[in-house]
Structure 1
Amino acid sequence: MKFAIVREVDGVVDRLVEAQDLETLLMNTPAGCDPHPCDNPAVVPGEWRWGSGGFAPRTLPEPTPDELRADLIAKVKQTAEEWRMRFMSPGGAKKAVYSMKQAEVEAFNALGTTLAGRLAAVLGLSATARGRRFRYALAEAAIRNEPDISKAIDRFAAGADISNAGAARIEAVEQLAVMNLRAAKTLGELRAVYAALSWQ
C-alpha cells in the first residue's frame, strides 16, 4: 500500500512510501511527519499537501520580479551552454586542440595574400619553427599523404567556421535575453521575454 509522508508543520508531502506492514511504514516516517494512505497517482512530494479536504496541489506564492529574473537568467545561461555544446566538442583537451588549430589557420593566412606566397613562406621557415607553428597541419598532411599543409588548413578553417558560427549565434541570443530580462520590470514582462526566446 502507498502512503504519503506528510510534514506536520505545513502539511506538505515529504515523500511517498510503499509499505505492507506497520514496521516498514514507521521506519520510513521521520520525526515531525505523519503517514496518510494515498492512492492518488498524481500526488508528488513537495508539490502536494494534506489538508482537511485530503490531498490537493500545493499553491505556491508568486515570486517577486527579482526572484523570477534570477531564476530565468540562470535558465537562459544553462540552456545556452547546452546549445553551445551542440557545436563544440566536450572536454578541455579537445577545446585546446581546436584553439591551436585555429591559431594555425590564422598564422598561415598571415604569411601572404596568395596560396603560393603562403606555401613559400612556410618552406622558408626553419624545420623547428615550421613544426612549432603548424604541428597539427603538418601531422594531418603527413598522415593523409598530402604534399603540403594547405588542405589541412582549409579543413581546420571550415570546421571552425561551422562551429564558431553556431556558437556565436547562441552567444548573441544569450546576451540579448539576459539584457532584456534585466530590463523587464514585471512578472508578465519577464515571462514574455523568456517565452519569446528562440535558440534555433
Structure 2
Amino acid sequence: MKLIQKFSKSFLLKSSTLVSLVSILAVIGPIVIVSAGFWDAISHILKEPESFWSPSHIVVYTGVFMTSFAASMGCLLLMRKSVHGSLKTGIKFVIVGSIIQMISGFGDSLSHDLFGIDGLISWSHQPLELGLVLASFGAVLIIKNREHTKLKFFLPFSIIAFLFFATWLIFNIVLTFGHTIQCIQIYEIFSSGCSIL
C-alpha cells in the first residue's frame, strides 16, 4: 500500500488538482449521460435501429467514463489519505455513484439484448439515475468544501445539476407507482415506457 502511495504522489498530479478534476468530472459526466439519454429516447421515438454502439449510447458511455475516471482519481486520493471530512464523504459518494452507473449500464445493455427497446421506466434506468444523483451530490459536497478556491464558481452549476437529477429520479419513481398518470401528455414523449409496465 505504501508503494502505491509513493508512486501516486511522485507520478501523478497534486491532491488539490485531483480534487478539482474529481468534482468537475463528477458534474459534467452525469450531464453528458442525461443529455445522451434524451437523445436515445428521441431515437426510440423515431424507431431508429438500437445497438450497443449506437451514437447516443457511445455518448452515454463517454459520460460514464468521465464519472468513472473521477471515481478512480477519488480512490487515489483516499489511498493517499489526503482528504478528510466532507471532502472524503463527497469522494465516496462519487465512487459509489460511479459503481452503480457501471453496473446499471451493463444491466441496460443486457436488457436491450433480451427485450429490445425499453421505456423511461425500467429495472436498469432507475438505478442508473440513482448513480447520477449520488455522483453529482458527491460533487456538490466536494465543491462546497473547496468554495474558497476557484471551484466556487462551479458550485451553483453543480447544485442545479444535482437538483435536476434528483427531481428526474423522483419523477420516474412517481411514474412507477402512479399508474393512472403514466400516459398523460407530458409523458407521451416516453410512450414506450407505458408498455413496459
Taking structure 2 as the reference length, the TM-score comes to 0.23
Q: Which is richer in strand?
A: 1
